[in-house]
Copies of this chain bind each other. A is one copy, B any other.
């Protein structure tokens, strides 16, 4: 295998994605922007969105600078991090931010053009909207993969070129260093998702409560001062927020899989006789990038398969989108078998039919899992199925029953996604390591399979994100058509597109949660690699402080050996209980070693009660054993409790934020109506800017507390409870957070569609008591599905990412490391 070849393929694919993104953008910009009022409306939305991003970027810049300084201290002064991490943190945030900026630019340009194209035909409208969505999809995957390729080249090629051979990093160091590079994207995603989510729902709820409920204005009425803010919100939350979220999942999954691949191939004995470990590590590291490259090609091809005829039915539109996605998936499946056969090191016992590495099935499992979760989300939230129709019927007995029903149905809908993710994990694990669930040697290989499944699920992100970003574009196109007073047939077409957008948005949310869960699982496993790196840094740091050669005791369970060949750090695994005499003897021996005097060889053998394991060759289980990360360890249990708690508290924070922000919006809209009665009769144009400013300011203000929770909790838990506590925290947050996220997203989607179902004339139709009850359900569902639910994805991943980055700190400076606790 030629490294440079794979690297070139991946880099080309990423550039290909960016080129196609540019092409689609260019095509869209050439399209007719419509009439003067349409342009003016689009211009307002664009300005609002730009103003929001500008304000958000100011806050984000400050946060990034602060964090960069802290990371630099950790890297340069404490020596618990790679020196590249701070700069990678900045560039990661920058790339992610660029994606959001570019995607939103495109979306806000596309809405009026979609409305204008819908004047010609439904397909023209679909093409503009969908391909503009594809700009977002392709930008995310292109920027993501390019970022990884560039950094790989720097660390693998340029560092030894500039620093000489002694500066060369091992593959393990490269993979772990790069793993910490995901944090920039995580932080950016947090602000985009949480801030965007609060913005959009504050505007939406404000616009609805005063405009629609109090003043009985129509949806998207230009007389509603919050209507532009509402449209801006769609772009800010659903385009930029969703993009940043999935950008993070995308890069995170590739980085985690690469790190796990290197770890799996470093495992002694895994390759069998005569295997070249170095080459295998490289192959396993590059495989995720190669799968991503194939995914990009297949996504672009799939985008061209999306076409529809003039039939307005939801079914035919869905079929058009499904055709694109399904074809991409199929091609990726075929391609991944090929690339796995080409790149995957041959591990004895994991080959299917003797030739196909089982890891190829892991890719397929990931793809299927993503597809299934999307399907299920649509199945439970779409008003074409029984669940939502039945929920709509409960509106007849008032708001209380539809709320109880929606909460119950949402909670019930959790079961299948859990079963899917659980099965995907077991299958991806089992196929990757040949079904050897109990084989310590191949355990990391199984986890690599889970990481690869996450990569597989996200490989077609170019097209799946396109269907997602398409939603708000169609939604805004509808708003534009309404406000500009276009021909009813146009509004009918944009409505068809918008209705499709609601379905794809629900599917997209399911997909986002599913991919976040699988990515977080991979990051959880990769975290242990971060811990290994932390021990390695600690050992080398201690060795650099002592002069003589020999063995040194760092603490009761850690030993460092300095030899002319280099430094080796050893874990002393806890042994089975010893007799009291042994313990006393050991303690006596240990005490002699405190003064950084090397230990005589004879003493060493007798003094180390547990098994001495070289850090570089320690298995994953060794680390877990070392930290006693079993379910009975109170530190681990407390971690799980705190993780579960954090997901509930995070939801509460984001929901309260929406409540507070919406309150400000309500007051502002009421003020405008009172001070300018002309707004209501259409004689005065309302001040659209003020609501945007209010939403922007609240969003910036309200996103601080939840962000701090996500950033600081893993560090606090780590310092107090050590590595075991952190693993518990991540597990608790992942499992509870996943359930909560699915519940909230689905409940919200159901209420939304139940309302639409009632509005379509069922159970009394618009204006009936059932409709009023359904509107209450929809309003409750708004922060559920658009703020708290999706933000949980980020919380789950961010906590993992922060834990990985600070692993070195926790290993060295936690109360556990100080042997206090």
Show the binding face of A for B, using Cβ within 8 Å. Answer: 209, 213, 267-269, 272-273, 394, 397-401, 403-405, 407-412, 414-415, 418-419, 421-422, 425-426, 429, 437-438, 440-441, 443, 446-447, 450, 521, 524-525, 528, 574, 576-580, 611, 613, 619-622, 624-625, 628-632, 634-638, 640-645, 647-649, 651-653, 655-656, 658-659, 662-663, 666, 727-728, 731-732, 735-736, 738-739, 743, 775-776, 779-780, 783, 821
Q: Are A576 and B644 in contact (CB under 8 A)?
A: no
A743 to B645, CA, bound (A): 10
Q: What residues on B are CB-neighbors of A613 within 8 Å?
A: 576
Contact B776 A635 (CB under 8 A): no
Chain A interface SS verdict (over half): helix
Specify which of B663, B728, B776 is in contact with A398 (CB 8 Å cutoff).
Answer: B776
Nearest chain B CB to A703 CB, angstrom units: 16
**CB within 8 A of A641: which of B394, B422, B634?**
B422
B407 touches A446 (CB 8 A): no
CB within 8 Å for A644 and B776 given contacts A577-B619, A632-B620: no
Minimum distance in angstroms from A361 CB to a CB of chain B: 15
A797 and B386 alpha carbons, distance in the complex (Å): 34
Q: How far is B390's CA from A663's CA once the two chains are assembled, in angstroms?
A: 14
Chain B residue nearest to A619 (CB atoms) is B577
- CB proximity of A541 to chain B, nearest CB, Å: 24
Q: A397-B666, A412-B652, A437-B821 are in contact. Are A425 and B634 (CB under 8 A)?
A: yes
Q: Are A637 and B438 in contact, with the CB atoms below 8 A?
A: no
Q: How far is the CA of A649 from the CA of B630 in the complex (A)?
A: 26
* B residues less than 8 Å from A663 (CB atoms): 397
- Whether the pair A641, B438 counts as a contact (CB closer than 8 A) is no
- Chain B residue contacts of A213, Cβ below 8 A: 398
8 closest A-B pairs by CB: A400-B779, A412-B652, A411-B652, A408-B655, A624-B630, A418-B645, A644-B735, A422-B638
Establish whether residues B411 and A648, one from each chain, have CB atoms under 8 Å apart when the complex forms.
yes
Distance in Å: Cβ of A400 to nearest Cβ of chain B: 4
Give Cα A383 to B287, complex, Å: 60
B residues near A776, Cβ cutoff 8 Å: 398-400, 403, 776
CA gap between A783 and B406 in the complex, in Å: 13
Give CA–CA (A571, B420) in the complex, Å. Answer: 34
Q: Could you say which of B273, B624, B658, B735 contacts A404, with CB atoms under 8 Å apart?
A: B658
* CB within 8 Å for A409 and B736 given contacts A574-B438, A731-B637: no
Q: How far is the CA of A732 from the CA of B400 in the complex (A)?
A: 30
Residues of B within 8 A of A642 (CB): 418, 422
A408 contacts B659, C-beta separation under 8 Å: yes
Q: In angstroms, how far is the closest chain B Cβ from the Cβ of A812?
A: 17
Q: Given the known A-B contacts A401-B659, A659-B405, are A637 and B736 also in contact in the complex, defined by CB atoms under 8 Å?
A: no
Jot down 14 A-B pairs with beta carbons below 8 A, ordered by A.
Answer: A400-B780, A401-B662, A401-B779, A404-B783, A408-B651, A419-B645, A437-B635, A437-B821, A450-B634, A528-B632, A576-B613, A631-B636, A632-B727, A643-B735
A208 to chain B, nearest CB (A): 9
Bound complex: CA A411 to CA B411 (Å): 15
Whether B645 lies near A414 (C-beta < 8 A) is: yes
Contact A441 B404 (CB under 8 A): no
Judging by beta carbons under 8 Å apart, are B640 and A731 in contact? Answer: yes
CB closest residue in chain B, given A778: B400
Cβ of A272 to closest chain B Cβ, rounded Å: 7
Interchain CB contact (< 8 A) of A645 among B400, B446, B739? B739
Pick the contact of A739 from B414, B648, B656 — CB < 8 Å?
A: B648
Cβ contact within 8 Å between B735 and A656: no
The answer to whether A272 and B644 have CB atoms under 8 Å apart is no
Q: Which of A525, A579, A780 counts the most chain B CB atoms within 10 A?
A: A780
> How far is A409 from B660 in the complex, measured between Cα atoms in Å?
13
Asked if B736 contacts A398 (CB within 8 A), the reply is no
Chain B residues whose CB sits within 8 angstroms of the CB of A641 once the complex forms:
418, 421-422, 735, 738
CA distance A441 to B59 in the complex (A): 52
**In whole Å, how far is A618's beta carbon from the nearest beta carbon of chain B?**
9
**A403 proximity list for chain B (CB < 8 A):** 403, 776, 780
Known contacts A404-B658, A411-B652, A655-B404, A728 near B631 by CB under 8 Å:
yes
The answer to whether B656 touches A412 (Cβ under 8 A) is: yes
Assembly CA distance A528 to B630 (angstroms): 12
Q: Which residue of B lies closest to A579 (CB)?
A: B269
> Are A429 and B634 within 8 A (Cβ)?
yes
Give the nearest-CB partner of A779 in chain B. Answer: B400
Question: How many whole Å from A665's CB to the nearest CB in chain B?
Answer: 12
Known: A613-B576, A634-B437, A648-B743. A407 touches B736 (CB 8 A): no
CB within 8 A of A624: which of B397, B577, B611, B632? Answer: B632
CB neighbours (8 Å) of A412 from chain B are: 648-649, 652-653, 656
**Could you tell me if A397 and B619 are in contact, using CB atoms closer than 8 angstroms?**
no
Nearest CB of B to A817, in Å: 12
Q: A620: shortest Cβ distance to chain B, in Å?
A: 6
Q: In the complex, what's the smallest C-beta–C-beta distance from A407 to chain B, in angstroms?
A: 7
**What chain B residues lie within 8 Å of A643 (beta carbons)?**
735
A738, B576: Cβ atoms under 8 Å? no
Beyond A403-B776, A652-B409, A659-B404, whether A629 also contacts B628 by CB under 8 A is: no
Nearest CB in chain B: distance from A640 CB, A? 5
Complexed CA–CA distance, A447 and B528 (Å): 27
The residues of B that contact A441 with a CB separation of less than 8 Å are 577
With A645-B739, A648-B411, A776-B403 known as contacts, the answer to whether A446 contacts B631 (CB < 8 A) is no
**Complex contacts, A521 vs chain B, CB 8 Å:** 637
With CB as the reference atom, state the residue of chain B lying closest to A270. B577
Min CB distance, A669 to chain B, in Å?
Answer: 13
A577 to chain B, nearest CB (A): 5
Q: Is the CB of A397 within 8 A of B638?
A: no
Q: How far is the CB of A555 from chain B (nearest CB, A)?
A: 11
Instruction: Verify A577–B268 contact, CB threshold 8 A.
Output: yes
List residues of chain B with CB within 8 A of the CB of A611.
576
Residues of B within 8 A of A576 (CB): 440, 611, 613, 619, 622
Cross-chain contact A656 with B408 (CB below 8 angstroms): yes
Q: A407-B652, A422-B642, A621-B630 are in contact. List 12 more A-B contacts (CB 8 A).
A: A399-B400, A400-B775, A400-B776, A404-B658, A405-B656, A408-B656, A409-B652, A411-B648, A418-B644, A447-B632, A524-B632, A632-B727
Rounded to whole Å, the gap between the CB of A344 and the closest CB of chain B is: 20
Residues on the B chain within 8 Å of A397, using CB: 209, 663, 666
Task: Give the CA-CA distance A736 to B578 in the complex, in Å.
Answer: 38
Q: How far is the CA of A311 from the CA of B398 in the complex (A)?
A: 41
Residues of chain B contacted by A620 (CB below 8 angstroms): 632
Instruction: Contacts A580-B272, A634-B426 given; indicate if A648 touches B780 (C-beta within 8 A).
Output: no
- Which residues of chain B are within 8 angstroms of A446 by Cβ–Cβ distance? 634
Known: A429-B634, A634-B437, A739-B736. Is A580-B269 also a contact (CB below 8 A)? Answer: yes
Alpha-carbon gap, A407 to B422, bound state (A): 28
Nearest B residue to A444, CB-CB: B632
A404 contacts which chain B residues (CB < 8 A)?
655, 658-659, 779-780, 783
Give min CB distance, A447 to chain B, whole Å.
Answer: 7
Cβ-defined contact, A631 with B632, below 8 A: no
Q: Point out the residues of chain B lying under 8 angstroms from A648, CB to CB.
A: 411-412, 414-415, 739, 743
Q: How near does chain B come to A749, taking the closest CB pair, in angstroms?
A: 16
